[in-house]
Chain A
Amino acid sequence: MDLLNHLSTHWNYLGCITLMMIGLYIAISRGNLVKKIMGVNIFQASVILLYVSMGKVKGGTAPILIDGRSDVIFSNPVPHVLMLTAIVVGVASTALGLALVVRIKEAYGTVEEDEIVALDRAEERRALATEGVESTDVQGGGGKA
């Protein structure tokens, strides 16, 4: 009962933790690079929610001075301002990430991580094969770690 009570008064944190986990899970589990970026994006958005909700003061209004009144309760504007910066950072990293995905698509012809890894492996094997022909006395211990 206590727990339920706790959750009902802290639903904002519940929401942001849920989003956080969804984002992190997508970023880790998906092989599609675009989906990975979107996962990270959701993860960042959850942090914005965390900050904004911590700035809220119960019954508080927008922090604007009202002439002749000094008893008004304001919400804390600082977290909001911080998040404006964080949004800019988030947009920049998303843009850069997507730009990299475009380059990866041009270079590999795919945006699936497992296919890219397979292509890299094949390339490595080819390189090793040609190397074996050129110089047979390659030193031992060249195994792949």
Chain B
Amino acid sequence: MTDAVTVHHAATEALSFRDHLPALQVLLPLMGAPLCFLLRKAALVSFFTVAISFACLAISLTLLGQTMGGEILIYEFGSWPRPFGIEYRVDITNSFVLVVISLVAAVVFAAGPGQARRSIPVGREYLFYSAALLCLTGLLGVTITGDVFNVFVFMEISSLSSYILIALGRERRALMAAFTYLIMGTIGATFLLIGIGLMYQMTGTLNMVDMAVRLQAVSDTRTILVAVAFVIVGISTKLAVFPLHQWLPNAYSEAPPIVSAFLAATATKVAYYLLLRFTLGLFGAALIFDQIGIDILLMPLSVLAMFVGSIAAIYQTDFKRILAYSSIAQIGYMTLGLSLATEAGVAAGLIHLFNHALMKGGLFMVAACVMWRMGSTHIDVMRGLGQRMPITMAAFVAAGLALVGVPGTAGFVSKWALVTAALENEAFFIAFLIMASSVLAVVYIWRLVEIVYFSEPETDFEVKEAPLRMLIPTWTLAGMTIWFGLFSGFSVEVAEAAAKQLFVGLAGAGA
């Protein structure tokens, strides 16, 4: 493993453009955000943002290509070696997550601010784009960095900008939703900070790999046990694991749908990656599963999330709220994967991370189109929408079926992986519960399908779709849920390799 690691030292070898990609991944959107201030003109800024997010996508795809074979890229800032400087560390796991984030960002940003345009004063659109780029910076930074304190800083960058984006919602309730999220998010991040502090106290380093190596010697001390608790609770708040999910439904349903599409598909995914990175990578599977038994706690919480989220979704009367509650259930599937404590389980969680990002992004984009055309996403407004906006609603059906987990869609691939992993563990009851909760997803999706296709529109209607600029991103995401359902080779292969690497742990990976 050690010899596969490539470390670049500027002193010994000249760095080519390619070697700077890990830094550019984060620096591009970071530099882009203030540049939006200078450009000002709405059309120009919008084009600029989309260009940057596509550049990020290209970089992340290149990074994934470089790390596919199990290689690990290490980028030292200012060529300061490990214990002194901050380093970015790209392996197959985080390059996979980087691709998910930048893919969703590129597609969603291309759609423009959508409905949010109406809550932004004319001539101030550039502020929306700066906040969006900053949020992207934070999410990419959290994922790529190899320094635990850096994780906290980037997490706050992404959180602060997401509070701004959520507060742009149409109703005044959006302000309260953003405020509640701010309080919960700040407390969660501070918990993580306390945990990091305690870990630093015991190891004297902030570098993830160094820390993982040194943690092994002190893993049975009380300080580290407390650190584990703080870190896991802090990340779980960001991830909206079942009892800590209170902020999510309001935040995602009150935010402008475009913002929800971006955040629902990326923010919780990054938190899930962080949970894997800290538990498996830093603390190591032995401490987390054998010594503390996180899986025993996480499993019932995940199952509860699956059922509470889905049942609550059934009773909602707003499309966006249904999607928000369904997110809680879907996060339950991901954490369930971790709680199985096997490679197959974590791989299933990662596959679902990818697939859920596509389908929830797609569904919120549909919500954005409905919001644009109808001015509301209440289910009464959606009556007979299948006739009024046929193309948009077809995308809804495609992504909705994926959410249920119908064969041939991406959702089926991840649920299949999860059920297989549960059966491998001989957790037959868990496998049954996964399928039972999928039936609940059928209920809330079918209820919408019935309203959209089998009830007559109330008044005379004309067939009018959302603008093409929003329709193309919607169909890109919805189409990908089908594509990756039929050709699941890529996502499954990468997720399995990533899970294998995660279980080795950072300490085992060495260098």
Contact = CB atoms under 8 A, between A and B. Distances in A.
Contacts of A85: 149, 153
A78 B204 CA distance: 10
B163 A100 contact: yes
A141 B311 CA distance: 11
Interface string A106-130: 0110000000100010000000000
Contacts of A19: none
Contacts of B201: 54
- Interface range on chain B (Cβ under 8 Å from partner): 35 or more
A43 B179 contact: no
B380 A93 contact: no
Nearest to A16: B194
B156 A93 contact: yes
Nearest to B159: A93
Given A120-B176, A135-B458, A93 B182 contact: yes
Contacts of A142: 315, 317
A6 to B, nearest CB: 13
B380 A107 contact: no
A18 to B, nearest CB: 15
A78 B200 CA distance: 10
Interface in B125-170: 149, 152-153, 156, 159-160, 163-164, 167
B194 A47 contact: yes
A103 B173 contact: no
- Interface range on chain A (Cβ under 8 Å from partner): 35 or more
Contact of A50 (B173, B175, B194): B194
Nearest to A144: B315
B368 interface: no
Given A145-B312, A145-B315, A104 B175 contact: yes
A141 B314 contact: yes
A30 B172 CA distance: 21
Interface string B306-320: 000001101111000
A93 B153 CA distance: 12
A75 interface: no
Interface stretch (B96-104, B185-193, B336-344): B185-193
B182 A47 contact: no
B183 interface: yes
Contacts of A73: none
Contact of B197 (A50, A104, A116, A144): A50
B221 to A, nearest CB: 15
Contacts of B314: 141
B351 interface: no
Contact of B315 (A24, A43, A89, A143): A143
Contacts of A116: 176
Given A79-B200, A135-B458, A145-B316, A101 B194 contact: no
Q: Which of B153, B163, B182, B315 has the most CB of A within 10 A?
A: B182
A127 to B, nearest CB: 9
B176 A96 contact: no
A92 B189 CA distance: 14
B197 A96 contact: no
B175 A44 contact: no
A63 to B, nearest CB: 14
A138 B380 contact: yes
B178 interface: yes
B315 A97 contact: no
B179 A108 contact: no
A36 B163 CA distance: 16
A22 interface: no
Contact of B186 (A78, A93, A103, A131): A93
B149 A82 contact: yes
A33 B179 contact: yes
Contacts of A43: 187, 190
Contacts of B172: 104, 107-108
A25 to B, nearest CB: 12
Contacts of A51: 197
Contacts of A108: 172
A40 B183 CA distance: 7
A141 B313 CA distance: 11
A100 B194 contact: no
Q: Which of A36, A92, A103 has the most CB of B within 10 A?
A: A103
Given A93-B160, A93-B186, A100 B175 contact: yes
Contacts of A103: 167, 175
Contacts of A104: 172, 175-176, 179
Contacts of B458: 135
A92 B156 contact: yes
Contacts of A100: 163, 167, 175, 178-179, 182
A-B residue pairs, 3 tightest by C-beta: A107-B172, A145-B315, A89-B156
14 contacts: A44-B186, A47-B190, A47-B193, A54-B201, A78-B206, A82-B149, A86-B193, A93-B182, A96-B164, A96-B182, A100-B163, A107-B172, A139-B447, A145-B312
Given A44-B190, A104-B176, A145-B311, 17 more contacts: A27-B187, A47-B190, A47-B194, A47-B197, A50-B194, A50-B197, A54-B201, A78-B200, A85-B149, A85-B153, A89-B152, A89-B153, A96-B182, A103-B175, A104-B175, A104-B179, A131-B380
